[in-house]
Structure 1
Amino acid sequence: MEKKSPAVITLILSGVFAVLGTIVGGIVQGYWNVRLAEQKYQSDLVMKALESASAQERLLTLKMLVHTNLLTQSGVRDSVSNYIIEKEKDPESIPQVKPTAGQTLEAPIVDNARVYLLTGNKTKTTGFVDLSAQLKAAGYTVMNARYIVDAGRADKPEIRYFNESDKEQAEKLAEFMRFNYDKAYAANLYQDAKAKPGYIEIWLGR
């Protein structure tokens, strides 16, 4: 059996340790990504509870978050619990946090606002349900949601509008989609004589 030289052994060991380092690093990075996502989720829940214009409602929503164990991180839950006790007798002192522009979907600003949801990526059709529900709740008519593949379809996420009068509406939808889904969304004007005012397409891309 051929005996490997120290240089070869060192090279092999270096390679092994490099691979192990990459694996361990990936695991650690994944762990912290999950932790950060969880912390953001907990923070978003608390901020959402503070959006109501009613001070009493803000207090009750904070209580609900604690009592239903939606705040799973003990540090956050304990802090909110202590805050509730502090503000119990004076809920008016609980500040209202107004949602950031684009975070929530506002009512349509054009008449007969109609939206068609489209994608060229079959895996993205799972996003239709949630997005459709938000659009309908805001007052839009969702005409349909379809998966389409052909050369003329959008590769990237975008908002398509077909009448100049719908430009501002399309830009508001693009702002909402950028904030909540994908930063690549833009509102783009297309020519289609058959498209009547108020008709807009939301493309989730390929």
Structure 2
Amino acid sequence: MEDKGSAVKALILSGFFAILGTVVGGVVQGYWNVKLAEQKYQSDLILKALESSSPDERLQSLKLLVHTNLIKQSDVRDSVTNYILEKQKDPETIPQVKAAASQTLEAPIISNARIYILAGNANKTSAFNDLKLQLNSAGFKIMNARTIVDPGRPNNPEIRYFNPEDEQQAEKLAEFMRFKYDKGYAAILYKDAKAKPGYIEIWLGR
């Protein structure tokens, strides 16, 4: 009986330590997962602060992160503070970190965003349906999609916009098109008094 009792006790202890090990392991894993998430969050904040095309805005964004204590890790905060002091008189040397291109098209950032899709030959029209679907899903209005033979059009694809206030939207469309279709896309401003704000053309090339 004593041997049987000892065996039961050993079994219970073995199970207890197994459960304890699982619990402790889960707590430790959870702790490091939280730490890694915090580090990524703070890294993302710093990278976001460096996205602006304006050096002064990049400097001010870094200052804001420090002054509002959004950077929690003391060593990271100290490093950013020292970097700000170093670049204070020459913000031009603060590098711009461009946002990664997105595989999905974001919603329009301008009002009344209207897109006209154009191609220089019939072979290019194979992209019409897929492109229209993605533009519609993102919230853009499709004016039309057709083939034109226009000697004034370049061979290379491009995004045409006609009003300076549409520049940022045109750049975002060009970024998406470079990622999704062709690396040659660029956003180019054209003069056309008839084109109202929000009107943008996607030229697929010849």
What TM-score do you get using the length of structure 1 for normalisation?
Answer: 0.52
Report matched runs for 1:114-133 at 5 Å.
none
Query: Which residue is 2:102 aligned to?
Result: 102
Give distance in 2, aligned partners of 1:104 and 1:168.
8
Give distance in 2, aligned partners of 1:83 and 1:103.
33
Instruction: Give how far 1:137 is off.
Output: 4.4
Instruction: Give how far 1:170 is off.
Output: 6.8
For residues 106-145 of structure 1, give each alpha carbon's deviation from its aligned partner in whole angstroms, at most 9, with x where no partner exists: 4xxxxxxxxxxxxxxxxxxxxxxxxxxxx4646689xxxx
For the pair shown, the structure with the greater C-alpha radius of gyration is: 2
Partner SS for 1:52: coil
What TM-score do you get using the length of structure 2 for normalisation?
Answer: 0.52
Query: Which residue is 1:166 aligned to?
Result: 132
Query: Which residue is 2:39 aligned to?
Result: 39
Instruction: Give how far 1:168 is off.
Output: 4.5
Query: Which residue is 1:30 aligned to?
Result: 30
Instruction: Give how far 1:22 is off.
Output: 0.8
| Structure 2 runs not aligned, ≥5 long | 114-128, 140-206
Query: Which residue is 1:79 aligned to?
Result: 79
| Structure 1 runs not aligned, ≥5 long | 107-134, 142-162, 174-206
RMSD over aligned Cα atoms: 3.2
Contact 1:105/1:138 (8 A) holds in 2:
no
Report matched runs for 1:1-206 at 5 Å.
4-102=4-102, 106=106, 135=107, 137=109, 164-169=130-135
For residues 55-112 of structure 1, give each alpha carbon's deviation from its aligned partner in whole angstroms, at most 9, with x where no partner exists: 1110011011101111111111111001101111111111000000118964xxxxxx
Moved over 4 A (4+): 1-4, 103-106, 136-141, 170-173
Give distance in 1, aligned partners of 2:4 and 2:108.
70
* Residue 79 to residue 170, structure 1, CA distance change in 2 (3 Å): farther
Give distance in 2, aligned partners of 1:59 and 1:103.
29
Q: What is the aligned-residue identity percentage?
A: 64
Instruction: Give how far 1:52 is off.
Output: 0.3
Instruction: Give how far 1:5 is off.
Output: 2.9
* Residue 69 to residue 28, structure 1, CA distance change in 2 (3 Å): same
How many matched pairs?
125
* Residue 60 to residue 104, structure 1, CA distance change in 2 (3 Å): farther
* Residue 35 to residue 140, structure 1, CA distance change in 2 (3 Å): farther
